[in-house]
Amino acid sequence: MTSTPQPARDVVELCRDLIRIDTSNYGAGNAKGEREAAELVAAQLAEVGIQAQLFESENRRTSLVAHWEPDGCDTGLPPLLIHGHTDVVPAVAADWQVDPFAAEVIDGYLWGRGAVDMKDFDAIVLSVVRDRVRTGRPPRRPIRLVFTADEEAGGPLGSGWLAEHHPDLLADCPEAIGEVGGFSLTVNDRRLYLVQVAEKGLAWLNLIADGQAGHGSFRNDDNAITALARAVTNIGSYQWPVRIHPALRQFLDAVEDALGVPVNADNAEETLARLGSISRMVGATLSSTANPTMLGGGYKLNVIPGQATAGIDGRFLPGYEDEFYQTISRLIGDRVHYQKAVADIAVETEFSGDLVTAMQDVLAAEDPGSVAVPFVMSAGTDAKAWSRLGIRCFGFAPLQLPPELDFIALFHGVDERVPIASLEFGCRALDRFLDRA
């Protein structure tokens, strides 16, 4: 005899437990807490009879993989990959109103680093899976659960390492859901649920200018700093051409319908500005981007250095990787060269198929009158690693959000927090989704 389903009953405490483990990822292989977080997830799964494997790319850089194929699921269907990451970006406690790792509940919100990115979805997945095991409700198809380390540093010690060293674990998964998507955006009292179907490629570059070192009082026509400054200025002031990706066009069409105003490439920025902070993220997908972020060179005021360096955060749209690098080469000129510090592919799939239909059906059932729309992500996720295995990746971590919440600003932001009601909605939506996916 099964008990009454309560998929949201544990989600708040599970999320609090995860937030209280400081899994700050400082980059360059420097992180903490990922082993403890993976062990917590493994223990929660083991409590309901699901055994997980822990994998370490380096000491304590731990990712988890679990196969959930209970009696009653259709093993003739290919598995669905559901993935999240346990690491978070660092938080400076002095900047916050609360301790970022205390996981306080205040006025209907759960506060803490990772509440939005992405321990909320980790907890939703754990809560739903545990409840379905307890109540004897198998998913429609087999599920692969993956919780990775190192996503906040691009994933070379997490998803990238798993995809390279253990591709067999996920080789039979044609599709996946994870971050960033499934959250609501209210436009003229209509809720649009944004499902990520594409994300920009990553090009973190080191610019290097070499020149003639010498005394600061001498004339110098081969000054590395001068050459570098020119290159940085060219990149920082360059206006990249607008390229409307098909998913962005569908998103703009939905916004056009909700606002009742036409949206085209010429006025897209102006229209998006009416959507609040999300306009920054969506606006960044109108074109490739390259932003200077670091400068280095010299060691004394009266010495011209022989070398100067700069850092560039570059992101290119799907299909425009070659154009991006050709443009960078032209902008920096012959005196400067670049090295790729971190580089990764752009990802895209179509907003179509049975899995998309399941998302649309679930959102329509949980929030009648809402519309699911695709969008392009300006940043990157673990989808890059999974797509290399031929997996179609969607950002679908459903959250119904209050219209006044500046949700996008909370990603990596100060005072990160998620509404308790949104966590509960996510549990209901994911629970329903597992019956249809």
Q: Domains in the chain, start-ordered, CATH in brackets?
A: 11-178+352-366+377-436 (3.40.630.10), 201-241+287-344 (3.30.70.360)
Average pLDDT over residues 205-213: 97
When pLDDT is cut at 50, 70 and 90, the band that residue 274 belongs to is: confident
pLDDT tens-digit series, residues 44-63 = 999 999 999 999 999 999 99
| Mean residue pLDDT across the chain | 95
Q: Is the pLDDT of residue 265 over 90?
A: no
Q: Are 160 and 385 in contact (CB under 8 A)?
A: yes
Helix pair angle (34-46, 119-134), 10° resolution: 20
Q: Which of 98-107, 273-282, 410-419 has the lowest mean pLDDT?
A: 273-282
Q: Is the pLDDT of residue 196 over 50?
A: yes
Q: Is the pLDDT of residue 103 over 50?
A: yes
Element (H, E) at 376: strand 371-377
Average pLDDT over residues 193-203: 96
pLDDT confidence of residue 283: 86
Average pLDDT over residues 262-290: 80
Average pLDDT over residues 18-40: 96
pLDDT tens-digit series, residues 330-355 = 999 999 999 999 899 999 999 999 99
Q: Is 232 exposed, middle or buried (0-12, 13-18, 19+ CB in 10 A)?
A: buried
Given phi > 0 = left and psi -120 to 50 = alpha, else beta, which region is 72?
A: left
Average pLDDT over residues 134-143: 97
Q: Is the pLDDT of residue 1 over 50?
A: no
pLDDT tens-digit series, residues 398-419 = 999 999 999 988 999 999 999 9
Q: What is the pTM of this model?
A: 0.94
Cα 424 from Cα 437, distance rounded (Å): 20
